[in-house]
Chains A and B, each alone.
Chain A
Amino acid sequence: MNQDDTEQAPARWTRKDLLGLEELTREELLHLLDTARGFSEISTRSIKKAPALRGKVVLNLFFEPSTRTKSSFSLAAQRLSADLVDVVKEASSAAKGESLVDTGRNLEAMGVDIVIVRHQQAGAPHLLARSLKASVINAGDGTHEHPTQGLLDIFTMREKLGELAGKKVALVGDITHSRVARSNIWGLRKLGVEVGVIGPRTLIPGAFRELGVNVHYHMDEVLGHYDVFNILRIQMERQRRGMFPSVREYHHLYGIDQTRLAKMKPGVLIMHPGPINRGVEISHEVADGPNSVILQQVSNGLAVRMAALVLTQSAREAANP
């Protein structure tokens, strides 16, 4: 990415925060994806550094455990030459007497420019964004949104399938509790993609039909219909709460294996935001097979996050020169 692009950015991107894909216009979404494409090239260089955020401080504020998202944001920030601070908070920090807003303000007082926040509650990044002058990037809030994951999924689909308008994408699994599903739905719908959700009725909000999303409870009926199957991780905890009867039954009805893959379109993309439960929602062979783009998703996550960091930061600077 060259200097000219960075300077153009504020005109097409004016948000200091990236909280979700719902509120983005189609143009903003495309601008973000195009900016990310510029950054994906950096990863292929032998010296993987750009100066865009030199002198800026990026804070990872994670209230939930995360391996890949946190390290992806960390690497993205470091490649942009930013200083990086990691704060991992226990979910119970509020019980220790400091509220989220106070934590944010204290860290901001140390000169933080961008806060990457992951929190178990929907809306927590919005609260932080309202209270801070720093940019806030949502790295997953409860079961609401995970915009950079949605972006990297869409980025990967565009990379493999080209123009997405008219394409068909299925999201499989626990839709109710998935922030990845919501971000995918918002982003894909804006790009003219036909979106379907597949899973047990107890894990799919019926209200999603009102968004123009297809709802399927029986996966085998629609295997040949979609160009992409984005498979979500099933959380064992949901079974204990009676949301579905057993892992065995889940695998029987919704597990993607070679038999089901054979009934899908040739060239179908198999995606998964990770971490994978091998042998539950996806078989070993499919996860590592030729249709799987799971590792490309991870690589693309870096580019998308670099774009998010640069755009929010330049929008904030444009607003407060």
Chain B
Amino acid sequence: MDGILIQGGHVVDPQNGIDAEADVLLLGDKVAAVARMTEADVRANHRGLERLQIVNARGLVVTPGLIDLRVHVGEPGRDAEETIAAAAQTALHGGFTTIAVMPDTDPPLDNVAGALFVQRQGERAGFAQVVPVCALTRGRAGEELCEIGQLVEAGAVAFSDEQRPTDTPGAILRGMSYASMFDRPVIEVSQDLSIAGGAMNAGYEASLAGVPGIPAVAEELAVARACMFARETGCHYHAALLSTRNAVRAVKRARRLGVRVTGEVCAHHLALTDAEVRKAYDTNLKVFPPLRTREDVAWLRRGLAEGVIDCISSGHRGVAPQDKELEFGTAPFGALGLETALAVTLTHLVQAGVLGLSQAIAKLTCNPARVLRLQARKGSLTAGADADVALIDPKHEWTVSAGSLFSLRKNSPLLGLKLQGRVRSVIARGRLHELGG
């Protein structure tokens, strides 16, 4: 058996309450121990060890490999945008060793073959582990239910239709009721398109830009309704893509009433507002839900600090340049995020004093692991967990640019912005990946 000893780092493992200098020993593809230990200790205690790699982590923060709950890949169907293998490799550059891919592929992930295909593509690539979020209804159409029981057996970690073409509350209520049998969360993000049919946040900036708006109330409506359905069914509702003040408040109210609801925010919603959108009609800033106001951002931060928002995701979606070099209204929604989510968290939350380092890391590790029911293997450095580790230089300052991103696609909404914190290397299921930059 091979081992890796990570020495002298500042270990932050929120699940186990560790926030101190320590050494981490990985044996094979599992975590063996977090303690103070020397190479000699390890060799003495593990005589069967064939090879022991020593990683010097002095000055670095050592965390469980990060988990991203929201990655949109182009495979199957739109491979030219970004393949599963490419996304899984890009993920490592952002410290993510597990990514949940969303079912809005073509065809959608609404069947066992699709769920298995995604995982197999991930295994073949051998970078971050890829787990599928499957559709709640066939074709994401909001009518017939998917075979949720069999999809769970095939590895589905959650269920979501993403944005549906039409709004069908009855089907969603039935779906949540049915899914509750299998202890998997339902991620409900669909907004009524008769309200939310615009291209940027409705309000002052959209009014001046002359761009049709997406009103905040459309999101509040979707979130509040899903909270009611969770209350009625007992289903775990995971409120992803929270971007507005009143949606955060709706989650907070439901939690206070004991409804099983968890919250998630995409990192770019913490760093940017709709004022940036109007400046240049930059289609890299066209995301769904749209970038909102400063006040909304303040509420998202508050939601994170109060624990109403449990998780931070990247919302990553690679878009080919010819599709972003279009009129603002025509260009598709979507932004990169895998390589910047951690740095945005460190810069805009930890540096800004909103969250402590351990609190922030929890929102990228053990909290998403619990949402996706992966906590036995992922999201912590508990002995026996998968040997997934991120080594982060928390002081490294960098400017996001096309050249600084590993990703094939460059549609980052943060281009030109300064961030602090960069991943130096990751270990994904026992395999060390040294990263440049």
16 interchain pairs, CB-CB under 8 A: A22-B208, A94-B326, A94-B330, A99-B326, A100-B326, A101-B326, A119-B327, A122-B209, A122-B211, A123-B329, A126-B280, A126-B281, A143-B210, A144-B209, A179-B210, A207-B208
Tell me the residues in window 130-149 of chain A with beta carbons closer than 8 Å to chain B beta carbons: 130-131, 141-145
CB contact under 8 A between A145 and B325, given known A126-B281, A210-B204: no
A127 located at the interface, meaning its Cβ lies under 8 Å from any Cβ of chain B in the complex: yes
0 or 1 for each of B410-425: is its CB under 8 Å from A? (1 = yes)? 0000000000000000
Q: Counting chain A CB atoms within 10 Å of each CB, which of B207, B208, B327 scores highest?
A: B327
With an 8 Å Cβ cutoff, the count of chain B residues facing the other chain is 16
Contact residue among A121, A176, A208, A211 (Cβ-Cβ distance under 8 Å from B328): A121
A182 located at the interface, meaning its Cβ lies under 8 Å from any Cβ of chain B in the complex: yes
Contact residue range for chain A? Answer: 20 to 34
In the complex, what distance in Å separates the CA atom of A127 from the CA atom of B282?
8
Instruction: Flag if A144 contacts B210 (CB, 8 Å).
Output: yes
CB distance from A151 to the nearest CB of B (A): 17
CB contact under 8 A between A207 and B204, given known A119-B327, A121-B328, A126-B281: yes
Contact partners of B45 in chain A: CB under 8 A: none
CB distance from A214 to the nearest CB of B (A): 16
Contact residue among B204, B207, B210, B322 (Cβ-Cβ distance under 8 Å from A142): B210
B203 located at the interface, meaning its Cβ lies under 8 Å from any Cβ of chain A in the complex: yes
CB contact under 8 A between A208 and B207, given known A121-B329, A122-B281, A123-B328: yes
In the complex, what distance in Å separates the CA atom of A207 from the CA atom of B329?
21
0 or 1 for each of B309-338: is its CB under 8 Å from A? (1 = yes)? 000000000000010011111100000000
Q: Counting chain A CB atoms within 10 Å of each CB, which of B204, B208, B281, B326 scores highest?
A: B208
0 or 1 for each of A168-183: is its CB under 8 Å from B? (1 = yes)? 0000000010010010
Tell me the residues in window 63-86 of chain A with beta carbons closer than 8 Å to chain B beta carbons: none
Instruction: Flag if B211 contacts A99 (CB, 8 Å).
Output: no
A205 located at the interface, meaning its Cβ lies under 8 Å from any Cβ of chain B in the complex: yes
0 or 1 for each of B180-207: is its CB under 8 Å from A? (1 = yes)? 0000000000000000000000011001
CB distance from A321 to the nearest CB of B (A): 27
Contact partners of A100 in chain B: CB under 8 A: 326-327
Instruction: Flag if B203 contacts A142 (CB, 8 Å).
Output: no
A124 located at the interface, meaning its Cβ lies under 8 Å from any Cβ of chain B in the complex: yes
B contact patch SS: loop
Contact partners of B330 in chain A: CB under 8 A: 94, 121
Chain B interfacial positions (CB closer than 8 Å to A): 203-204, 207-211, 280-281, 322, 325-330
Tell me the residues in window 150-200 of chain A with beta carbons closer than 8 Å to chain B beta carbons: 176, 179, 182
Q: Counting chain A CB atoms within 10 Å of each CB, which of B209, B210, B329 scores highest?
A: B210
CB contact under 8 A between A142 and B325, given known A207-B203, A207-B204, A210-B204: no
In the complex, what distance in Å separates the CA atom of A101 from the CA atom of B324?
11
Contact partners of A99 in chain B: CB under 8 A: 322, 325-326
Contact partners of B325 in chain A: CB under 8 A: 99, 101, 127, 131
CB distance from A227 to the nearest CB of B (A): 25
Q: Rank and list the top 6 A-B pairs by shortest CB-CB distance, nearest first.
A: A123-B281, A144-B210, A205-B207, A143-B210, A207-B204, A122-B210
Contact partners of A142 in chain B: CB under 8 A: 210-211, 329
B325 and chain A: residue at smallest CB distance: A101
CB distance from B213 to the nearest CB of A (A): 9
Contact partners of B203 in chain A: CB under 8 A: 207
CB distance from B145 to the nearest CB of A (A): 34
Besides A122-B210, A126-B280, A127-B326, 16 other A-B contacts (C-beta < 8 A) = A99-B325, A100-B326, A101-B325, A101-B326, A119-B327, A122-B329, A123-B327, A123-B328, A127-B325, A130-B280, A141-B210, A142-B211, A144-B209, A179-B210, A207-B208, A211-B208
Contact partners of A210 in chain B: CB under 8 A: 204
Contact partners of A123 in chain B: CB under 8 A: 209, 211, 281, 327-329
B281 and chain A: residue at smallest CB distance: A123
